[in-house]
Amino acid sequence: MKILIGVTGGIAAYKSLELTRLFIKAGHEVQVVMTSGAKEFIQPLSFQALSGNPVRDSLFDTNQEMGMGHIELARWADQIVIAPASAETLAKLRMGRADDLLTTLVVATDKPIMLAPAMNKVMWSNAATQENVAILQQRGFEILQPASGEQACGDVGEGRMPEPQVIFDAVNQFQVQQVKNQQACLELRRFWKGKTLLVTAGPTYEAIDPVRFIGNRSSGKMGFAIAEVAAKVGAKVTLIAGPVNLSTPVKVECLNVRSAQQMFEAVQQHVASADVFISAAAVADFRVAEPAAQKLKKQAGSDEMVLTLTKNPDIVAWVAQQDTKPFVVGFAAETENVLEYARTKLRSKNLDMICANQVGENLGFEQDSNALTLITEQQEKALPSSTKTQQATDLLRFISDLV
C-alpha cells in the first residue's frame, strides 16, 4: 500500500518518524509531505532516511511542479495520514484552503484521509476546533481521538497525538473495512442499480405560532446516510427531508419540507414510482389544531397555556395501505420496550420491515452512530453499534436479500 504521511507543525512531529518506520517495516511504500511549521520541529532528512524517498515540502518547487507535483502525489497515494494534524491544519481543511503542498493535495485527492490531531487541551476543546472536526467527519475524513496525558506545555488533558502504533493499527483496520465496504458495494450494486428509492429523514416542525413549534431531536443523519449509500450503489434516490443541517448527498434529489403535512404531500407525489420506501423521518404524531397567526403572549394572571392538538397523517401506514405499493420499511425509535413496540408497529401498519432503535440521552438522535435491529415477520437481525453509514449499508444489504 502507498501511504502519504503529512506532518504539520507541532512538537508531536517527532512521533511521525516512528510512524514512518512502522509503515516501512510492514512493507508499505511511504512518501512524506512536511509543512513549513513541521520543519521548525524536525529535519526533513530524518524522514528521507526512513522512507527512502525525498521529502516533499514546497508547492512551488520547479522540479516537482513540472510534473504537477500535488496532482501526482494525490493520485499516487492509497491512503493519506496527517500526523500530527494541528488546529490550524484542521481549520484549513475545513475551509478547503490550498495554500501549501499538503493542503493542496488534500483538495486534489479522492483517496481516504485520516487525521491524528495534536494540540494543547484548551485548543482541542475550543468550540471552533470541535466544529471543524465535526464538519470534516461529515465530509468523510477519519479523525482519531487524541490521547490524554501530560502535554509539552505542562498541561495535562486531552490533545496529545495518538501513539504511532495506535495510528498504524487504525490505518490497517480502516483499510480492512474499506475492502469489506467495497465488496459490499459490489454486492449491493447488483440489486440496487436502477432501483428507485424514496427516503424520508429528519424531524418535522409543527407550528404553534409564527415563532414557536413542536419538534423533536432527530438530526436526519440516519436517513441521509441511507440516501448517500443507496446513491453510491446505483439507486435513483429521492430524499424528503425535514428541517436539518446536513448537506445533500451526491446524486440524490432532496426535497425540503417543514411539517408532517408537507412531508405527507411530498411522499404522495413521489411514492408511485418507488421500488422501496424507507420512512426514516421522526414525524410528529400531532400538530396544533389551529396555529396562531401572531406570536402568542403570556396572559396576566395565568400560569398555563392550553394547546389543542390533532393527529398528523401516518405517512408510512398510508404508503403500506396502497393497492400498488413499494417495499415499505418503517422505523421505530423508542425509549423502552423497543423490540416489543417495533413488532407491534410492524403488524399494525402492515409494513414489510421495521428498523428498531433505542433513543434517548446520547442514543440514536443527534449521534453519529446507531444500533438498529432489523425486523420482518420471519427474521430479526441485531446490528452491532457502528457509524450510521455502516448501519445504512447493512440495512440496504438486508433489504436486497428480502426483495
For the chain, which domains are there? 2-175 (3.40.50.1950), 193-291+305-402 (3.40.50.10300)
- Cα–Cα distance for residue pair 33/109, rounded to 1 Å: 14
Of 44-53, 182-191, 275-284, 394-403, the range with the lowest mean pLDDT is 182-191
Reduced to 3 states, what is the DSSP secondary structure of residue 375? strand
Note whether 239 and 254 are within 8 A (CB).
yes
pLDDT > 70? residue 363: no
Which residues are within 8 A (CB) of 366 and not within 5 positions of it... i.e. 6 or more apart? 217, 218, 219, 221
Predicted confidence at residue 184, as pLDDT, reads: 75
Length of the chain: 403
- Cα–Cα distance for residue pair 86/116, rounded to 1 Å: 9
Residue found by looking up cell 532528512 in the block: 45
Predicted confidence at residue 65, as pLDDT, reads: 47
**Residues above pLDDT 90, as percent of the chain:** 71
Predicted confidence at residue 72, as pLDDT, reads: 81
Q: Structure pTM? A: 0.68
Predicted confidence at residue 351, as pLDDT, reads: 96
Most distant CA atoms of the chain, gap in Å: 81
Q: How many CB atoms lie within 10 A of CB 3?
A: 25
pLDDT, mean of residues 74-89: 94
What sign for the dihedral angle of Cα 220, 221, 227, 230? negative
Q: What single-letter amino acid sits at 144?
A: L
Residue found by looking up cell 473495512 in the block: 177
What amino acid positions are annotated as catalytic residues? 153
More confident call, 371 vs 191? 191
* Secondary element (H or E) of residue 131: helix 127-138
* Position 183 confidence tier, pLDDT thresholds 50, 70, 90: confident
Write the DSSP symbol of residue 360. Answer: B
As given in the structure block, the three cell numbers for residue 390 are 455502516
Predicted confidence at residue 66, as pLDDT, reads: 46
* Position 191 confidence tier, pLDDT thresholds 50, 70, 90: very high
Please report, in angstroms and rounded to a whole number, the separation of the first and last CA atoms in the chain: 38
In b/e form, how buried is each residue of 31-48, taking b as 16+ CB within 10 angstroms? bbbbbebbeebbebebbe
* Position 58 confidence tier, pLDDT thresholds 50, 70, 90: confident
Reduced to 3 states, what is the DSSP secondary structure of residue 99? coil
Note whether 258 and 266 are within 8 A (CB).
no
Reduced to 3 states, what is the DSSP secondary structure of residue 327? strand
What sign for the dihedral angle of Cα 260, 369, 145, 176? negative
- Cα–Cα distance for residue pair 201/217, rounded to 1 Å: 12
- Cα–Cα distance for residue pair 297/209, rounded to 1 Å: 10
* Position 364 confidence tier, pLDDT thresholds 50, 70, 90: very low
